[in-house]
Amino acid sequence: MRAKETNRYTSIVIVAKRARQIIDGVPPVIEGTATKPVTIAIEELEAGKIHWSHIKPV
């Protein structure tokens, strides 16, 4: 899925999870001027570098 195909809630959850990964030591996938993990995660989402799939509960 792409960032433009999701609602705000999903985007917030995705950014929060990615920011936690960055805080835990996973390197960013884009070069940028941001230093805060949440800002880096937002930039990655907007650049289309974060990919996820939505799994519906059974």
pLDDT in tens, 13-25: 999 999 999 999 9
pTM: 0.81
Domain ranges of the chain: 3-46
Is the predicted pLDDT of residue 3 greater than 80, yes or no?
no
Q: How far, in Å, are 8, 10, 57 from residue 25 at the CA level?
A: 26, 23, 30
Task: Supply the pLDDT for residue 58.
Answer: 78
Which residue bears the tokens 């996820």?
A: 52
Dihedral over Cα of 12, 8, 27, 32: its sign = negative
**Span 17-35, average pLDDT:** 95
Other C-beta atoms closer than 10 Å to the C-beta of 26 total: 11
Q: Which tokens sit at 15?
A: 């950014």
